[in-house]
Structure 1
Amino acid sequence: DLYILGQYRDEPIPGVSGAALLLNLDTNLSPKWSKIYYAEHFNYYKASLNIKSDGELVLAYSTKGFFPTILASIDSNGEISEQLGYPFHTPSISPMEDGSLVIGSNFSYNDTIGIFTNLSLSKTDKQGYIDNCDVFSTCLLSRDVPLSYGAIEVDTFTITEPDSIPMNVEPWNFSFKDECSVPPAPSPYFSFPDTICAGECTLTGDTKNRLAHARQWHLRGPGAIDTIINDSLNFNYCFEVSGEYELTQSIWFLGCESTFSHTFRVLDELQSTLPSEKTVCTQPPFQLTGSASRPLTTFLWGNGNTNPILEIDTSGTYTLIASDGYCTIKDTIFISFIEDLLTSGEAIILPPDTSVCEQHLPYLLTPQSPYTQIFYAPELMNEPGSVIPVNRPGTFTVQTNLFGCDLTNRFTLTLKDCQARIYFPTAFSPNDDGINDQFSPQGLYFEEIEFQIYDRWGGLIFTTKKPPFVWDGAGFPTGIYVFRFRYFNTLSMIEEEIRGSVLLIK
Structure 2
Amino acid sequence: MKRYILFFIALHFSFPGSAQHQAKQWIFGQGLGMDFTTPQVSFFNVPYIPNEPNHRDYNQSSVYCDEKGEILLYFLNGKYYDKNNNIISGGEVYEYKFSPNTLLFGENKTSFFINFSNNKNVIFHYYVYGEPENISTKNHSIRLNKITLNNSTIISIDSIDTYNNSNPVSFINRANSGINLTPISSKGNIFFMIDAPGTNKAVIIVKIDSTGFQEILNHNIIRQNNTSLFPEQLFFFHPLTETFFILGKKYDSNGIHHTFLERFKHQNNFNFSINPTNRLFFPLKPGINNQNTQAFIKYCITLQGRYIYMFGSWNNQLFIERADLFAKDSLAFYNSHVQIPLPQPLQLISSGTTQYWLDSQVGPDGNIYFMLAKRNQISLTNQTPNNPENKFLCRIINPEDSDINNVQIEMNFHTFPDWSLFASFPGLSTNQLMPPPFEVLSSCSDSVHLDLNYKNIIDSVWWDFGDPVGLGTANNSSVVSPVIKYPNYGKYYVSVQLWFDGDTLRTLGDTVLVEPVPHVEFPFHDTLICIGESVTVDASQGFEASYLWSTGSTDSVLEITETGLYWVQVSTACGTAYDTVQVRVIRAPEEAVHDTSVCFFGPVLFDVSADSATYLWSTGSTGPTFAPRQIGNYWVEVQNICGGYYKEFRVELENCEKTLYIPNAFTPNGDGVNDCFQVSAENVADYLIQIFNRWGTMVYSSTDPKECWDGQYQGKPVQEGVYLYLIRYTDRDGNPQTPKRGEIVLYR
Structure with bigger gyration radius: 1
TM-score by length of 1: 0.37
TM-score by length of 2: 0.27
